[in-house]
Amino acid sequence: MRAITTIALVWIAASSMLLLVRLAPGDPWFAEGTVQHMTPEQIAAQRHRLGLDRAWWDLYGDWLGHAIRLDFGSSLRYQRPVPQLVAERAANTAVLALSALLLATIVGLPLGVIAGSGRPRLVAVAIRVSSIVALSAPPLLMSLILAWFAARTGWFPIGGVSHVDAERFAFIDRVRDALWHLALPAIALALPLAATFERLQADAVSAVRAEPFILGALARGVPQSRVLWRDLWRPALGPVVALYGLAAGHLLSGALAVEFVTSWPGLGRLMFDALGARDLPLAAGCAAAAALFLGVWTMLSDLALRVIDPRLRETAGDDARESASMVRAASLAGIAAEEPQRW
């Protein structure tokens, strides 16, 4: 069922993007700015070649027929196949998003456990205040602040994905250079998400602290630190893991701003360029890739939630058994109704 929802989401996102760009005022061919030295006949021939002189429903039907066969056409601006362009940029966005998610998890969850435990109190209050500040700063503002900080200190490169001479570096130096360029955009994207994880984890820890099995462990004399990090943390992970599916939307929307500020060649930057150039096939391909990313991320989040919380697996099993029992009962009722007629 989730796979069908993901396919429908990809279709709706790509179709909506294609139609919105096509119905927007202006002409994609003139948006390219390549018509200064062309005659009206040449312009008309190029528009006909690209299908820009056709009605929107005709254009959409032709695009949908090719998309079903996984043929998403070529970019009007880059003159390259759309899947090739999207795959290159989506890989960069995936690296940025996963790095930001990993950083947010490493920072947010332990701080949430400490803040939820309430001890030491001064540290818990400092964590809460820092989280409020980080939540108040969107990724765009955070990336601008970090870019200004990098320009003043020189600790990180302001933009780009690698050094201009990175191909000449040794393997270890190339990895170090890539991580150095990744640090700034990943931190800008991770800090608001880490603050969200911290607040949710702190609330979950505070709620689980009152559970009987936690109180029983403390009453038996188990050290509080051992109870906190061994017995209490895993039951309190459920709400955070459930938020992982929604975090994909935050990462995608925040990646657009972060990639634009830090010149990170990702999917968000490519979609921005496609919209500016009125590149219909490329804009639809970017939207489809983003929707696929969101759908797959949500499915993985659901699977992880079932692994962490066994109660969900038991609930799913009970629902399946109840459905099977209802089917068997209906079958037996039908057989019982038919028996008198046989006699």
∠ CA(279), CA(290), CA(237), 5° rounding? 165
The rounded distance, in Å, linking the Cα atoms of 146 and 67 is 40
State whether residue 36 is helix, strand or coil.
coil
pLDDT of res. 42: 64
The dihedral formed by the CA atoms of 72, 73, 75 and 76, expressed in degrees to the nearest 10: -130
pLDDT of res. 317: 47
Cis peptide before 120 (omega within 30 of 0): yes
Non-local CB neighbours of 128 within 8 Å, separated by 6+ positions: 115, 199, 202
Number of C-beta neighbours around residue 252 at 10 A: 19
In Å, what is the CA distance from 88 to each residue of 93, 95, 102, 131, 310? 9, 11, 22, 34, 38
Non-local CB neighbours of 29 within 8 Å, separated by 6+ positions: 35, 43, 46, 47, 50, 52, 76
Enumerate residue ranges in the chain where pLDDT < 70: 1, 25-53, 164-166, 231, 305, 308-343
Nearest Cα neighbor of 15 from 56, 74, 69, 75 is: 56
pLDDT of res. 319: 47
pLDDT of res. 252: 79
Phi-psi region of 221 (alpha: psi -120 to 50; beta: other; left: phi over 0): left
Burial of 118 (0-12, 13-18, 19+ CB in 10 A): middle
User: Helix 82-117 to helix 121-136 angle, to the nearest 10 degrees?
Assistant: 150
- Domain segments of the chain: what residues? 91-277+291-319
74 bridge partner residues: 81
User: Which tens digits make up the pLDDT trace of 199-235?
Assistant: 888 888 887 777 777 777 777 877 777 777 776 777 7
Query: What is the separation of C-alpha 285 from the centre of its chain, rounded to a whole number of angstroms?
Result: 16
The rounded distance, in Å, linking the Cα atoms of 225 and 228 is 5
pLDDT of res. 340: 35
pLDDT of res. 51: 64
The domain 91-277+291-319 is placed in CATH, from the list 3.90.1150.10, 1.10.3720.10, 1.50.10.100, 3.90.79.10, at 1.10.3720.10
Alpha helices in the chain (DSSP H): 2-23, 28-31, 40-50, 56-68, 82-117, 121-136, 139-153, 171-208, 212-219, 224-226, 238-262, 267-276, 280-308, 310-342
Amino acid found at 81: P
Amino acid found at 57: W
| Tokens at 156, concatenated | 């990180």
pLDDT of res. 313: 55
Q: Is the dihedral of CA 242, 192, 120, 203 positive or negative?
A: negative
The rounded distance, in Å, linking the Cα atoms of 81 and 69 is 14
